[in-house]
Amino acid sequence: MTQVFVTGGTGFIGSHVVRLLLQQGYTVKALVRSSSNLENLRGLKVEIVTGDLNDPELWQQMRGCQYLFHVAAHYSLWQKDRELLYHHNVLGTRNVLVSAQKAGIERTVYTSSVAAIGVGASGQVVDETHQSPLEKLVGDYKKSKFLAEQEAMQAVTTGQDVVVVNPSSPIGPLDIKPTPTGDIILRFLRRQMPAYVNTGLNFIDVRDVAWGHLLALQKGKSGDRYILGHQNLTLKELLDQLSQLTAMKAPQMSVPAWLPLSVAWVDEKILAPLGKSPSVPLDGVRMAQQPMYYNASKAVRELDLPQSDLTTALKDAVDWFISERYVK
C-alpha cells in the first residue's frame, strides 16, 4: 500500500485530504503539533506523529512514505503574529521540503493559497498567470504564503517534484477553528452580522478542494500552480443563499469601508497594546476592500477538479456548526 505523509491533517482542508486518501486506499501518516486539537482525526485509521515543521530531524518521520501533502500553515491576520507567520509558513515550508528530499519522497503537493497570487485591479477575475507584487499583497499572512510558495518553486529548480495548489475559500463540515469563511457562516447563524461589507470571494466545497489535492498528485505538472476554486460571489450573494437555506433574514445594509477600517485601527493600534483583545484585524478589513475573484478553469481542465453545487456545501457547513453546538 502507498504511504503518504500529511502535515496539517487536523485542520479544515487537511482533515478532508486525510479522509479522501484513506477512502482511496492510501495509508496515512499525519504530523501534528503537541498542542493540536485531534478532533478531526478521531476514529480514523491514521498513524499520528507529534512534531514540528521546523524540526531538522523531520525527514526521519517521513521515511518510508512515497508522497507528501504539505497542508499545514499558520493563519492569522493579526499584526502581532508577524514573526510566527514567517517562522511557520516560510521557514517551516523550507524545512519540510528539505526533509522530503532527504527522506526520498517522490512527489510533494504543496498547499499554497489564492492569497499568494494576489488580486486583480478593482474586482477583475484572475488566474494562475497573475501575480501581485509582494509589496502589494495585503498583510503578513498573504506575504508569508507568497514567500512559502517561492520556497516550493525554488525546490523545483533543484530537481524536486513539487505541485502547488492554491485553494480559494472552502466551505463545508469539519471547519473546527473556524476559517474566515466559516466565521462568516457562524456570525450569520448567531445573528452577529447586522450589516455587510461590499466585497466578494471565490468559494468552493472543501471536499472538492481535497479532490484537487489528490488530482494534483496524480496529474499535476511539477512547478505549476493550480487554483482550486469554483464560484465568484459577492458577500451579499453568499448571505442571501444562507438566508434561503436557514429562513433567517440576511443583513440588508452595507457599511462603508472606512467604518470597519477605523474600528480595526483603534482595536489593533490603541486597545491591543493596552492588553485588550482586539476584535477586528486591520489586515482583514484591508483585504475585504478588494473583491478576491479567481478563475479555476486550469484545474478543471488539467486535473478534472470537481465543481460541486455550493448550496450543498453551505447546507453541510450550517448543519455541522449546529450539530457541533457552535450555535446556541
Residue 73 lies in a domain: yes
Closest CA to 59 of 92, 104, 14, 94: 104
Angle, helix 235-246 to helix 180-189, in steps of 10 degrees: 50
pLDDT at 288: 59
Residue 186 lies in a domain: no
Residue 297 lies in a domain: yes
pLDDT digits (tens, 9 = 90+) for 187-208: 889 988 777 778 888 999 999 9
Residue 135 lies in a domain: yes
Residue with cell 493596552: 274
Please state, in angstroms and rounded to a whole number, the distance separating the CA atoms of residues 15 and 21.
Answer: 10
Closest CA to 197 of 113, 131, 264, 271: 264
Per the structure, how many domains does the chain have?
Answer: 1
Residue 270 lies in a domain: no
pLDDT at 176: 94
Residue 271 lies in a domain: no
Please state, in angstroms and rounded to a whole number, the distance separating the CA atoms of residues 143 and 24.
Answer: 34
Cell of 161: 517534484
DSSP string covering 1-55: --EEEEESTTSHHHHHHHHHHHHTT-EEEEEE-TT---GGGTTS-EEEEE--TT-
SS3 225: strand
Length of the chain: 328
Residue 282 lies in a domain: no
Q: Which domain holds residue 152?
A: 3-175+202-231+291-307
CB atoms within 10 A of CB 64: 11
Q: Are 188 and 242 in contact (CB under 8 A)?
A: yes
Q: Which residues of the chain have pLDDT under 50?
A: 264-265, 282-283
pLDDT digits (tens, 9 = 90+) for 234-264: 888 999 999 999 999 988 877 766 555 555 4
pLDDT at 258: 53
Please state, in angstroms and rounded to a whole number, the distance separating the CA atoms of residues 114 and 292.
Answer: 9
CATH number of the domain encompassing residue 110: 3.40.50.720
- Beta strand ranges found along 141-240 (DSSP E): 162-167, 169-171, 195-197, 200-205, 225-228, 231-234
pLDDT at 251: 83
Residue 251 lies in a domain: no
